Structure 1
Amino acid sequence: MRSEQGGGRDVIVIGAGAAGLACAADLVAAGLRVSLLEASDAVGGRIRTDRVSGFVTDRGFQVFNTAYPQVKRRLALRPLRLRPFTPGVLVHTGGGRLLQFTDPTRRPRESRDLVPGRLASARDLAALGLLTAQDAVLPAGRLRARSDRTTLTALTDAGLSTKLIETFFRPFLSGVFLEDGLETSSRYFHFVWRSMVRGTLCLPADGIGAVPAQLAGALPHAVLRTGTPVARLTGDGVVLSDGTEHHAPTVVVATHPTAAVRLLPTLKVPPGRTVTTLYHAADRSPLREPTLLIDTARRFLNTCVLTEVHPHYAPDGRALISTSVLGAPDPTEEAVVRAALAEAYGADTDSWQLVHRYTVHDALPAMPPPLPLSRTSRFSPGRYVCGDHRATGSLQGALASGARAAREVLADTQR
C-alpha cells in the first residue's frame, strides 16, 4: 500500500458536494490543513450541469433561492448571472385551463385569479394570508418550536379547504418534496414557504452547477482533488481505490447517502426520493413567460420553459422545456407525460425533440415528522458525517450541515 506524497493533513473531507465544499471552506478558514477528495470528475454531487448538444441541462430540475441564509453567507450572486421566475405558478386544472397563483404583494396586477371563487374561496384566501404572514415574519426559533406533524395536517389545521389543497398545495409541493402524499414534516414546509415568500427563485446562466463551481473556486488550489474515489476508512485516514493511503486524524464523510453507508456501515440514513427530469427542445416556446406550471391531475410534478427564464439555456434560439415526474417512468409512461404537456401548454408536442433524460435516485431524503432540522455530524472519535440527509433536503440544508460539521470538528480538535 502506497502512502500519499507530501505529508498528512489535519482533516480529510470526502465528497465535494455542497456539504463537503462548505465544510472544507470553513476548516480552511480556521487554519486547518484540509484535503477535499471527490470521486467524480467535477464538484457538485447532485448539483451538476451538463452541456448536451449545446443545451444547458441540470441533473434534475433545480432552482436557486436567494433567501437561503447559507447562500447569502457564501455566494456572490452577480457572477451567477441569475434570472428570476415569476413569483407564482400556473395551475393546469384540466381541459387546457390555466389559473395563475401569484404573490399579490409582488405582482398585484397579475393576481386576478386570486379573486374569491376562482382558485380559492374568500375563507381560503384569508387562511392562506394568515399562514403566509406568520411564516414570513415569525422568528426562525418560533417556527422550529412548533409541534411537528405532516404537511397535510398542518394545512388542514390552518383552515385551508380540501379543494385548495388538492388544486394547489398537493401538486405544487409534490415537486418540492418529491412525494405526493404531503407526508413531509410541517416544520420543513413552513421553512420552505418562508424562503419562497422572502426570496426569489432563479436560474444561473450556466446552470445550477455554477453554484458548487463558485464554492470550489474559492478554495486554495491544493485542497481539492477530483477523480479520487475513496475505498475505505482506516484508523488513521483513508485508502483510495488505487490503494494509496492518505493520513489524517479527522475524516468527514460528505458523500451521497449510499456512499456514506458504504464508508460508515452502521450509519442510519433516511430513504431517498427518486425523480426523473425530461428535457425537450421545441422550435417555438409553448409559453411566453418564465413561470412554473403544475398539473392538478399530477401527471407530472412541474414543467417550465427554461429559455423563458434564461435564454442562455439553448444555443440556437429554440425553446428548452424541463418536465419532472416522480420515480423512473418507462417509455410508455413518458408518452403519457408528453400528452399531458400537450394539453397543459395547448401545443403540439409530437415535434418536440427529447434532448436528455435524467433519473436521480435519492434526489432528496424523505423528511417525515418528527424531523430534526439539523443532526450532529459526530459519528465516532475523529469521524464525522454531513449532507442534506443530516439536515433538510435543500441547498440550504446541505450547506448548513457542512458548516455544522466544521464547527464540531473545530470544537473537538481545539479542546
Structure 2
Amino acid sequence: MVATRGGSDVLVVGAGLAGLACARDLTRAGLGVRVLEASDGVGGRMRSDRHEGFVIDRGFQVFNTSYPQVRRRLALRALRLRPFTPGVLVHTDDGPLRLSDPTRGPRRLGDLRPGRLAGSRDLAALGVLSARDMLAPARSVKHGHDRTTRTALAAGGFSEEFVERFFRPLLSGVFLEDELETSSRVFHLVWRSMLRGTLCLPTEGIGAVPRLLADGLPAGAVHLDTPVARLTDDGVLLGTGGELAARAVVVATGPGQAAALLPGLEMPEYRTVTTYYHTAPRSPLAEPVLVTDVRRRFLNTCVLSEVVPGYAPGGMALIATSVLGQDHGGREAEVRGALAEAYGTDTGAWQPLTVRTVPDALPAMPPPQPLSRTARVGPRRYVCGDHRATGSVQGALASGARAAREVARDLAAQRLVGG
C-alpha cells in the first residue's frame, strides 16, 4: 500500500510501548506510518535519564522476560539484561525473611522451611497456586472467574497472616494499590509471568526497551518534539499549527492526553507512585534482591547498583525506594528511617539524589477486568495503551498489536470498497 498523497496511511500519536508496537506492525503490513511524539524521546513512562553520573529510570521498574509480546518483538540479548535474585526479601518485625522460587535451584529450598515466613498450610497452598498458574494453559487463567485478588487468595487456602506478611507487601508494589483489590485474573497472569520468566533490568536502563522497538522502524518514522493539539477530519492539527493528513489516526498517549484528544473516551483511574533515589558510599545489601516491608512504609526497595553496576559511578551505591502517591515534605526522612531498619544500617551518610513521581503509573484494574478491548473508537480513529488491556509491558504491547490489526483490516476493507 502507498501512503496517502500529502500525508500518511496512519499517524500514531505517542511513542510509548503501545504506539511503537502499533507502528511496527503497521509498517510490516506495508502501510506508511508516522509516529508523533510530544517529548524529546521515545518510551513514554518507560524512560531513563543520566543524572550526576547515575542512571535514573523514571520510576522504579523491572523487566519481565516471559511476556509473550516481549519474546516475540525484542532481541533480548541486545538489552544485556541483568537479573534480580529470584524471590523476595521481606522485612518483618522478626528481621529479614526470604521467600525464594525453589525451581531456580535446590539451594533455595531452605527458604521454604515451615515456620519461617509461612506455615505448612500456606506453603502447600503456595505450591498449588504456583503449579496451576505456571503449568496451566494461559486461556484457562484468562477465562477464569474474576474477583478481587484478596478474595482469590482466601479461596486458595492462604491464611490472613501469610497474605499480610507476603502477598500484600509484594503485590502493593506490583499493582500500586495496597488493598489487594486488583482483578484476580490479572493477578494470576502476573504470577504466571513471574514464575515463568526472569525479573531483570537492561544494562543501559529501562529506556533501552522502547529504544530497541523504535530502532525497528524505518528511518524518519518517529518525529520527536511534535505535540498534537487535536484530531481533525483529515488527520491531526499539530501544536505548531501545521496539519498532517492520514487515512487513520491511532492515539497512543498517556491517559490525560488520550482523553483530551478523544472526548468521551472511557478511562480508568490511574495509580501514582513516587520513587526516592539515594546514594551511599557502600552498598547496604550485597545482593540484587527486591526488599518489601510488612509494615508497608514503602512498596519496595533495592540496591540498583547491585542489579546493574553501571547504574552508579564506581565506588558508589544507588538505592531506589518506591511509595504510593505523591512526594510531600518530610516523606524522604520517613522513608530513610524505614530503610535504616530494612537494611539494618545507618543511613545518615546517604544522600538524596533525586525523586521521580509518575502520576499515571498504572491503571486501576478491579474486577471484572477486561484483558483486551477494541482499539476502534470512531471512523478512522483508534486508541491503544495499557488502559485498553492490562497495566503491564505485555498489556501495552498487546494493545498496540490489536490496534494495528484493526487499522490494517479497516484500511484494507476501505481499499476494496473504493476499488
Tell me if both proteins adopt one fold, taking TM over 0.5 as the criterion.
Answer: yes
Contact 1:294–1:303 (8 Å) recurs in 2: yes
Match of 1:37 in 2: 36
The question of 1:87 aligning with 2:59 is answered no
The question of 1:328 aligning with 2:351 is answered no
| Structural mapping, 1:4-403, within 5 Å | 7-94=6-93, 97-403=95-401
SS in 2 for 1:414: helix
| CA distance in 2 between partners of 1:277 and 1:189 (Å) | 23
| CA distance in 2 between partners of 1:198 and 1:237 (Å) | 42
SS in 1 for 2:104: coil
**CA deviation vs aligned residue, 1:365-400 (integer Å, no higher than 9, x gap):** 000000000110010010000000100111110000
| CA distance in 2 between partners of 1:258 and 1:387 (Å) | 12
How high is the sequence identity, in percent, across the aligned residues?
66
**CA deviation vs aligned residue, 1:202-250 (integer Å, no higher than 9, x gap):** 0101100000001111110121100000000000100001100000120
**CA deviation vs aligned residue, 1:81-134 (integer Å, no higher than 9, x gap):** 111001101000026x10011001113313323111111111111111000000
SS in 2 for 1:351: coil
| CA distance in 2 between partners of 1:196 and 1:351 (Å) | 35
Query: Shift of the alpha carbon at 1:315?
Result: 1.7
**CA deviation vs aligned residue, 1:24-46 (integer Å, no higher than 9, x gap):** 00000100011100000000000
| CA distance in 2 between partners of 1:204 and 1:163 (Å) | 35
Gaps of 5+ in 2: 414-419
**CA deviation vs aligned residue, 1:114-161 (integer Å, no higher than 9, x gap):** 111111111111111000000001111111111100000000000000
- Of the structure 1 ranges 164-173 and 100-109, higher mean CA displacement relative to structure 2 is found in 100-109
| CA distance in 2 between partners of 1:16 and 1:313 (Å) | 24
| CA distance in 2 between partners of 1:207 and 1:285 (Å) | 19
The total of aligned residue pairs comes to 410
| CA distance in 2 between partners of 1:107 and 1:298 (Å) | 29
Query: Shift of the alpha carbon at 1:76?
Result: 0.8
Contact 1:276–1:328 (8 Å) recurs in 2: yes
- Aligned AA (1:245): E
| CA distance in 2 between partners of 1:140 and 1:155 (Å) | 19
- Aligned AA (1:28): T
Contact 1:273–1:362 (8 Å) recurs in 2: yes
- Aligned AA (1:77): L
Query: Shift of the alpha carbon at 1:6?
Result: 8.1
| CA distance in 1 between partners of 2:134 and 2:315 (Å) | 39
Contact 1:294–1:302 (8 Å) recurs in 2: yes
What RMSD in Å do the two structures reach over aligned CA positions? 1.1
- Aligned AA (2:92): T
Contact 1:80–1:210 (8 Å) recurs in 2: yes
- Aligned AA (2:286): R
- Aligned AA (1:273): R
Query: Shift of the alpha carbon at 1:331?
Result: 2.6
| CA distance in 2 between partners of 1:313 and 1:222 (Å) | 30
**CA deviation vs aligned residue, 1:153-200 (integer Å, no higher than 9, x gap):** 000000000011000000000000000000000000000000000000
Contact 1:58–1:209 (8 Å) recurs in 2: yes
SS in 1 for 2:318: strand
Contact 1:276–1:329 (8 Å) recurs in 2: yes
- Aligned AA (2:80): R
| CA distance in 2 between partners of 1:181 and 1:198 (Å) | 26
| CA distance in 2 between partners of 1:246 and 1:23 (Å) | 19
- Aligned AA (1:364): L
| CA distance in 2 between partners of 1:261 and 1:108 (Å) | 50
